[in-house]
A and B are shown apart, each in its own frame.
Chain A
Amino acid sequence: MSSSVEHLVSREYKYGFVTDIEQETAAVGLSEDTVRFISAKKEEPEWLLEWRLKAYRRWLEMTEPHWPNVNYPPIDYQGSTYYAAPKNQKPLGSLDEVDPKLLETYEKLGIPLSEQKMLAGVAVDAIFDSVSVGTTFKATLAKAGVIFCSFGEAVKEHPDLVRQYLGSVVPANDNFFAALNSAVFSDGSFVFIPKGVRCPMELSTYFRINAANSGQFERTLIIAEEGASVSYLEGCTAPKRDENQLHAAVVELVALDGASIKYSTVQNWYAGDENGVGGIYNFVTKRGKAMRDAKISWTQVETGSSITWKYPSVILQGDNAVGEFYSVAVANGRQQADTGTKMIHLGRNTRSTIISKGISAGEGQNSYRGQVKIMPGAEGARNYTQCDSMLIGNRCGAHTFPYIDVRNASSDVEHEASTSKIGEDQIFYCKQRGLNTENAISVIVNGFCKEVFRELPMEFAVEAQKLLGVSLEGSVG
Chain B
Amino acid sequence: MALLHIDNLHAAADEKPILNGISLTVNAGEVHAIMGPNGSGKSTLAQVLAGHEAYDVTAGSISFAGEDLLDMEAEERAWAGLFLAFQYPVEIPGVSNAYFLRQGYNEIRKARGLDELDPIDFYDLLEEKLKVVEWGPEIMERAVNFGFSGGEKKRNEILQMAVLEPKLAILDETDSGLDIDALRIVANGVNTLRGPEKAIIVVTHYQRLLNYIVPDFVHVIAGGRIVRSGGKELALELEEKGYEWLTSEAAVA
Instruction: Say how far A327's CB is from chain B's closest CB, in angstroms.
Output: 15
CA A449 to CA B95, docked complex, whole Å? 10
Residues of B within 8 A of A425 (CB): 90
Instruction: Say how far B148's CB is from chain A's closest CB, in angstroms.
Output: 14
A/B pair count, beta carbons within 8 Å: 83
Residues of A within 8 A of B51 (CB): 428, 431-432
Residues of B within 8 A of A444 (CB): 92, 95
Instruction: Say how far B96's CB is from chain A's closest CB, in angstroms.
Output: 9
Cβ of B104 under 8 Å from chain A: yes
Interface size bucket, B side?
20 to 34
Residues of A within 8 A of B164 (CB): 433-434
CA A437 to CA B73, docked complex, whole Å? 10
Cβ of A408 under 8 Å from chain B: no
Cβ of B216 under 8 Å from chain A: no
Q: Which of A417-437 contact B (CB under 8 A)?
A: 423-426, 428-437
CA A428 to CA B73, docked complex, whole Å? 10
| Residue ID in chain B nearest A436 by CB atoms | B75
Instruction: Say how far B115's CB is from chain A's closest CB, in angstroms.
Output: 15
Instruction: Say how far A206's CB is from chain B's closest CB, in angstroms.
Output: 29
CA A113 to CA B231, docked complex, whole Å? 73
Instruction: Say how far B18's CB is from chain A's closest CB, in angstroms.
Output: 17
Q: Which of B69-90 contact A (CB under 8 A)?
A: 73-75, 77-79, 83-84, 86, 89-90
Q: Which of A443-457 contact B (CB under 8 A)?
A: 443-444, 446-451
Q: Are B74 and A432 in contact (CB under 8 A)?
A: yes
| Residue ID in chain B nearest A423 by CB atoms | B90
Stretch at the interface among B3-11, B36-44, B105-113, B239-247: B105-113
A429-B89, A432-B84 in contact; A443/B103 too (CB < 8 A)? yes
Report how many residues on chain A are interfacial, defined by Cβ distance under 8 Å.
26
Q: Are A428 and B103 in contact (CB under 8 A)?
A: no
A431-B75, A434-B79 in contact; A450/B94 too (CB < 8 A)? yes
Residues of A within 8 A of B160 (CB): 433
Q: Are B73 and A435 in contact (CB under 8 A)?
A: no
Q: Which of A1-17 contact B (CB under 8 A)?
A: 1-2, 4
Cβ of B182 under 8 Å from chain A: no
Q: Are B103 and A426 in contact (CB under 8 A)?
A: no
Residues of A within 8 A of B99 (CB): 443
CA A450 to CA B50, docked complex, whole Å? 29
CA A428 to CA B101, docked complex, whole Å? 15
CA A1 to CA B54, docked complex, whole Å? 9
Cβ of B52 under 8 Å from chain A: yes
Residues of B within 8 A of A2 (CB): 53
Cβ of A439 under 8 Å from chain B: yes
Contact code string A64-108 (vs B, CB < 8 Å = 1, else 0)? 000000000000000000000000000000000000000000000
Cβ of B212 under 8 Å from chain A: no
| Residue ID in chain B nearest A431 by CB atoms | B74
| Residue ID in chain A nearest B96 by CB atoms | A447
Question: Which one of B50, B54, B73, B103 has the highest number of Cβ atoms from chain A below 10 Å of its Cβ?
Answer: B103
Cβ of B135 under 8 Å from chain A: no
Partner of A432, one of B50, B54, B92, B95: B50
Residues of B within 8 A of A448 (CB): 93-94
Residues of B within 8 A of A424 (CB): 53-54
CA A447 to CA B103, docked complex, whole Å? 13
Q: Are A439 and B95 in contact (CB under 8 A)?
A: no
Q: Are B73 and A431 in contact (CB under 8 A)?
A: yes
Partner of B78, one of A4, A433, A443, A446: A433
Q: Are B53 and A433 in contact (CB under 8 A)?
A: no
Instruction: Say how far B6's CB is from chain A's closest CB, in angstroms.
Output: 18
Cβ of B139 under 8 Å from chain A: no
Partner of B53, one of A428, A443, A447: A428
Residues of B within 8 A of A4 (CB): 73
Q: Which of B90-130 contact A (CB under 8 A)?
A: 90, 92-95, 99-101, 103-105, 107-108, 111
CA A324 to CA B166, docked complex, whole Å? 46
Question: Which one of B77, B101, B104, B105 has the highest number of Cβ atoms from chain A below 10 Å of its Cβ?
Answer: B104
Q: Are B75 and A434 in contact (CB under 8 A)?
A: yes
Residues of A within 8 A of B100 (CB): 430, 433, 443
CA A429 to CA B104, docked complex, whole Å? 11
Cβ of B143 under 8 Å from chain A: yes
CA A286 to CA B50, docked complex, whole Å? 50
CA A201 to CA B118, docked complex, whole Å? 30
Q: Are B92 and A429 in contact (CB under 8 A)?
A: yes
Instruction: Say how far B166's CB is from chain A's closest CB, in angstroms.
Output: 10
CA A437 to CA B72, docked complex, whole Å? 13
Residues of A within 8 A of B77 (CB): 432
Q: Are B93 and A434 in contact (CB under 8 A)?
A: no
| Residue ID in chain A nearest B163 by CB atoms | A433
A4-B73, A426-B90, A429-B86 in contact; A434/B105 too (CB < 8 A)? yes
CA A2 to CA B104, docked complex, whole Å? 20
Contact code string A393-435 (vs B, CB < 8 Å = 1, else 0)? 0000000000000000000000000000001111011111111
| Residue ID in chain A nearest B53 by CB atoms | A2
Q: Are A451 and B94 in contact (CB under 8 A)?
A: yes
CA A432 to CA B51, docked complex, whole Å? 8
Residues of A within 8 A of B107 (CB): 434-436, 439
A-B CB contact pairs (8 Å), 20 listed = A2-B53, A4-B73, A424-B53, A428-B50, A428-B90, A432-B50, A432-B51, A432-B75, A432-B84, A433-B78, A433-B160, A433-B164, A434-B103, A434-B164, A435-B107, A436-B73, A436-B107, A439-B103, A444-B95, A450-B95
Add 9 more A-B contacts to A424-B54, A428-B52 (CB < 8 A): A429-B86, A429-B89, A431-B73, A432-B50, A432-B83, A434-B79, A434-B103, A434-B111, A435-B75
Please give me the 4 A-B residue pairs with the lowest Cβ-Cβ distance, nearest first: A447-B94, A433-B104, A447-B95, A431-B74
